[in-house]
Amino acid sequence: MTVNPLRKHWRLNPDIDFLNHGSFGATPSIVLEKQRQWIDQLEYDPIEFLAPERTLLPKLDHVRQVIGELVSCNPADIAFVRNATEGVNAVLRSFPFAPGDEVLVTNHGYNACNNAVHFAASRCGATMQVAEIPFPIQSADQVAQAIERYLTDKTRLLLIDHVTSPTGLVFPVNDIIKIAHRRNVRVIVDGAHAPGMVPVDLRQINADYYTANHHKWLCAPKTSGFLYVAPQWQPEVRPTTISHGANTESYGKSRFLAEFNWIGTYDPTPILSVPTAIDFLNRLGPGGITELCLANRSLVLAGREKLLNALEIESPAPPAMIGSLASIPIATQDRRAFSDATTLQRRLYDEYRIEVPVFKLNDQLHCLRISAQAYNVIEQYERLAIALRNELK
């Protein structure tokens, strides 16, 4: 069995073909060791380490600088959150909705975030509308066109994914945001999967809000992410937990940062370990993270091709819309149809030792999603292809 030599850097179960980096990520040993050092420092002197008026804020500001350089934005516009879902919630719970307003999402959106939209909007008499984007899909133009059709004079906010979680599509966020801004619609981008998978230039993207995870494709520890808010909206956005930062100016260089810097006692070590994770990824090859992104994309496209050939189905999306995730439809009207995605996912794990998500995209379509990270090899996707051919006879 072929083993990627880079796999030694991760503590993944060697008996499992782990093709699901997209769900929670996987953290390299060197990053976990760095987090352990941060934890030891915290417990050695908790007050000195955690109290914002002592040494916490400079440590957070250093990470903010690193992230700002990675995603091309002013570090002062970045707040830290536990994950992208929390970032989306902070924006939604702060947004000045009025009765009759509409929030537009897509049918490719993350369920947790769509739930947050429904909750925040309904409390204010606003409503959630869903733009239907096809899958399989022929081109990125279909995404922008579908969203434009659903924008109305009542649309106040648009929530879109940079990389969709269920379908693994890279959306044309630049084009979509231009369309929305022409209609005076603010845009929040759920970039949960983007940093470490695709280039992220927030100055070019020009979103009103952008939130992302560090723990997925940047391989940082779990519960680590950021929320970017354009300067003109920062006085409006509040964290989901209101704490001392609401009236303690010394907790940050702005009220926006002060509130997010301190939401009550929490463990900042996952956030503080992010620079180590980025440095690790940059050292995996001479081309750094850019080279890694290209390699992961090539691998996931090759793996997708193995599955498509094994199941004798057409490509559901053009290669240009694929990053390091790829979903394929596996529920059809022929002999490959099945009724229970959970059963298939469990069988792939129990019988073939393959970890991969299988889910119901809508009433007619089931999908399987593969990921590619530095520790994967093409033989793992070949084994998955054989398993699917056996199970979906």
225: nearest Cα among 238, 210, 240? 210
Using the predicted structure, report yes or no on whether residue 334 has a pLDDT greater than 60. no
Percentage of the residues of the chain whose pLDDT score is greater than 90:
90
pLDDT value for 341: 82
Task: Answer yes or no: is pLDDT of 19 > 60.
Answer: yes
Q: What are phi and psi of 131, to 5 degrees?
A: -80, 125
Encoded tokens for 81: 């959150």
The pLDDT, as a whole number, for residue 356 is 98
Torsion of CA 62, 193, 82, 23, to 10 degrees: -130
Give the model's pLDDT for residue 1: 67
DSSP H stretches of helix in the chain: 21-24, 29-44, 46-50, 57-71, 84-94, 111-123, 141-150, 173-182, 202-205, 255-261, 269-272, 274-282, 288-311, 341-352, 378-391
Mean local confidence (pLDDT), 109-133: 96
Identify the bridge partners of residue 80 per DSSP, sorted by sequence position: 226
Please give the average per-residue pLDDT across 175-190, as a whole number. 98
Fold topology of 32-278: Aspartate Aminotransferase; domain 2 (3.40.640)
pTM of the model: 0.95
Query: Which of the pair, 337 or 78, is modelled with greater confidence?
Result: 78
Q: Cβ–Cβ contacts within 10 Å for residue 48, how many?
A: 12
Q: Is the CB of residue 193 less than 8 Å from the CB of residue 165?
A: yes
Given a cut of 70, whether residue 333 has pLDDT beyond it is no
If you search the block for the tokens 């975030």, which residue do you land on? 113
Phi, psi of 72 (to 5 degrees): 60, 65
pLDDT, residue 335, reads 43
Q: 81 φ, ψ to 5°? A: -130, 170
Q: Are 192 and 213 in contact (CB under 8 A)?
A: yes
Contact 137, 321 (CB under 8 A): yes
Q: Which residues pair with 81 in a beta bridge?
A: 225
Q: How confident is the model at residue 331 (pLDDT cuts 50, 70, 90)?
A: low
Measure the CA–CA gap between 266 and 51, rounded to whole angstroms.
11
β-bridge partners, 274: none
Query: Residue ranges of the domains in the chain?
Result: 5-28+287-391, 32-278
Residue 342, pLDDT score = 85
The Cα–Cα gap between 94 and 78 comes to: 16
pLDDT of residue 337: 47
Give the mean model confidence (pLDDT) for residues 208-230. 98
5-28+287-391, CATH topology level:
Aspartate Aminotransferase, domain 1 (3.90.1150)
Mean pLDDT of the chain: 95
Residue whose C-alpha is closest to residue 224's, from 13, 38, 9: 38
Q: How far apart are CA 82 and CA 11, in angstroms?
A: 23
Query: Which tops the pLDDT comparison, 351 or 361?
Result: 351
Residue 332 clears pLDDT 50, i.e. is over it: no
116 within 8 A of 128, measured Cβ to Cβ: no
